[in-house]
């Protein structure tokens, strides 16, 4: 479905990114495998993971080159995109998958923990997408696939940095879809459920946590790849500005914020009338403090 296309996958040295890169290659794409080879928290740097995936792609008869630049720097992100153009002459699709985790309850979160996660996920998605956008505009075609998360779309404990970045990515994707529609550029999001190195950092101190992780382990990264390949392909030419989740064998279309209920008072509102009228009228439609696991409460199918 992506025969002959040039696809850049960030964070492709392992986990979801690796499976997406391999799937792109199996379906005929030439792939830039980007990964800095860092630990889950972003520490360290190694060319090994990216090169290993490139070797795997070569072993199945595909074409791929490694990239070890960081998405968290604008100039480096531009080099990642340029790597595709220099090696393959063009760039057709970007999969923004690179990320780190530095979980902490909000009242304990440091500025560095906040900043580092926002920088990789949100800034990284922007930097890579912005660099690719110039080429997409010139060739009047292109596709972007961004990894969001139900941690941001719904909520989760101890992930204010990650959740804020991932919800920001959903808004970024929608803005790209709107701004670049006239240039035949599409932008969509995937909220993946998959056992990966990042998810492996989830605590397993209690029986409840152990049971949760056991369920997640059923959901392998390879289950995410088919949707990413499809969204990068011409078959998805009418799919734009959407958010999907993939949970084992389930694909869901995720809702986007719209007005749910409203109240009107001809003379306007006072703080007291809001307390006495507006809030009681809307309270039945208030959202509970759900987490991702509360909304996706059934076992993976």
Q: How many domains does the chain have?
A: 1
| pLDDT for the residue numbered 297 | 85
Domain assignment present for 297: no
Which range of 39-43, 79-83, 218-222 scores highest in mean pLDDT? It is 79-83
pLDDT at 66 > cutoff 80? yes
What are the distances in angstroms from CA 154 to CA 32, 110, 223? 32, 23, 21
Domain assignment present for 108: yes
| pLDDT for the residue numbered 259 | 95
Domain assignment present for 219: yes
Give 202's pLDDT tier (boundaries 50, 70, 90): low
* DSSP assignments along the chain, one per residue: --TT-EEEEETTTSHHHHHHHHHHHHTT-EEEEE-----TTS----SHHHHHHHHHHHHTT-EEEEE---TTSHHHHHHHHHHHHHHHS---EEEE-------B-GGG--HHHHHHHHIIIIIHHHHHHHHHHHHHHHHT-EEEEEE--HHHHT--TTBHHHHHHHHHHHHHHHHHHHHTGGGTEEEEEEEEE---TTGGGS---SHHHHHHHHHHTTS-GGGTHHHHHHHHSGGGTT--S-EEEEETTEEEEPP----------TT---HHHIIIIIHHHHGGGPPP---HHHHS-SPP-
Contacts 24+ apart (CB under 8 A), 172-176: 172/122, 172/125, 172/126, 172/129, 172/146, 173/144, 173/146, 173/148, 173/241, 173/243, 174/241, 174/256, 176/129, 176/133, 176/144
Domain assignment present for 184: yes
| pLDDT for the residue numbered 208 | 74
pLDDT at 203 > cutoff 70? no
Rounded Cα–Cα distance for residues 82 and 181 (Å): 23
Active site residues: 162
Domain assignment present for 299: no
| pLDDT for the residue numbered 196 | 60
CATH number for the domain spanning 103: value is 3.40.50.720
| pLDDT for the residue numbered 242 | 98
| pLDDT for the residue numbered 5 | 98
Domain assignment present for 196: yes
Nearest one of 221, 228, 180 to 16, comparing CA atoms? 221
Give 47's pLDDT tier (boundaries 50, 70, 90): confident
Bridge pairing between strands 243-247 and 250-253: antiparallel
Domain assignment present for 267: no
Domain assignment present for 145: yes
* Least confident range of 39-48, 91-100, 249-258: 39-48
| pLDDT for the residue numbered 143 | 98
* DSSP assignments along 169-211, one per residue: HHHHHHHHHHHTGGGTEEEEEEEEE---TTGGGS---SHHHHH
| pLDDT for the residue numbered 207 | 79
Q: Are 226 and 217 in contact (CB under 8 A)?
A: no
Structural domain boundaries, residue 184: 6-256
pLDDT at 273 > cutoff 90? yes
């Amino acid at each position: 479905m992506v025969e002959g296309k040039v696809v850049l996958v960030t964070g492709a040295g392992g986990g979801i990114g690796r499976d997406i890169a391999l799937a792109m290659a199996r379906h005929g794409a030439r792939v830039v495998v980007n990964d800095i080879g860092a630990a889950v928290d972003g520490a360290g740097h190694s060319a090994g993971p990216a090169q290993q995936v490139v070797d795997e792609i070569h072993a199945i008869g595909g074409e791929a080159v490694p990239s070890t630049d960081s998405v968290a720097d604008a100039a480096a992100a531009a080099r990642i995109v340029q790597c595709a153009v220099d090696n393959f002459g063009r760039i057709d699709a970007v999969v923004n998958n690179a990320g780190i985790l530095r979980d902490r309850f909000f009242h304990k979160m440091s500025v560095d923990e906040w900043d580092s996660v926002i920088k990789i996920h949100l800034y990284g998605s922007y930097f890579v997408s912005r660099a690719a956008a110039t080429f997409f505009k010139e060739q009047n075609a292109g596709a972007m696939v961004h990894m969001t998360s139900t941690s941001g779309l719904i909520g989760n404990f101890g992930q204010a940095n990650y959740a804020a970045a991932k919800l920001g990515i959903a808004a970024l994707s929608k803005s790209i879809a709107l701004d670049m529609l006239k240039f035949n550029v599409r932008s969509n999001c995937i909220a993946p459920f998959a056992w990966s190195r990042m998810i492996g950092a989830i605590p397993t101190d209690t029986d409840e946590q152990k049971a949760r992780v056991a369920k997640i382990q059923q959901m392998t990264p390879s289950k995410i790849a088919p949707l990413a390949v499809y969204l990068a392909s011409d078959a998805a030419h009418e799919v734009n500005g959407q958010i999907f989740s993939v949970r084992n064998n389930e694909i869901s279309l995720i809702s986007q914020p719209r007005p749910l209920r409203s109240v009107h008072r001809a003379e306007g509102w006072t703080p007291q009338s809001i307390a006495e009228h507006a809030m009681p009228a809307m309270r039945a439609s208030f959202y509970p403090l759900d987490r991702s696991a509360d909304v996706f409460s059934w076992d993976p199918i």
